[in-house]
Amino acid sequence: MERRPRVTRPRSGPPLAKRQISVAPDSASGSFTSVQAAIDSVTDATEENPVDVVVRPGSYSGMVRTRDWVNIIGEDRDRCILTYTRKPDQKQHLT
């Protein structure tokens, strides 16, 4: 299985967007427990008003479909794990 390069932003830099939504494995630590639910909640992201979905350390399962002007940012590149298990008869990419 080929590993894709990870894209991260420096920890010391400013956030990419003014508005941030947090995702955590438990509901006490974040606004959402699912990355996709956080993305789906964004209805007003634009080029002038992008939104960061900040993923706290933990494991998250499920396919993620992104939206324009929504950034997915993991707090820890080694401990934010997104997985998805595709069924053998399922298309690899849904567009």
Over the stretch 44-91, which tens digit does the pLDDT of each residue have?
999 999 999 999 999 999 889 999 999 999 999 899 999 988 777 777
Euclidean distance between CA atoms 90 and 23, whole angstroms: 27
Is there a contact between 73 and 54 (Cβ–Cβ < 8 Å)?
Answer: yes
Q: How many CB atoms lie under 10 A from the CB of residue 41?
A: 13
pTM: 0.73
By residue count, the chain amounts to: 95
Q: Using alpha carbons only, what angle is made at residue 93 by residues 30 and 45, rounded to the nearest 5 degrees?
A: 45
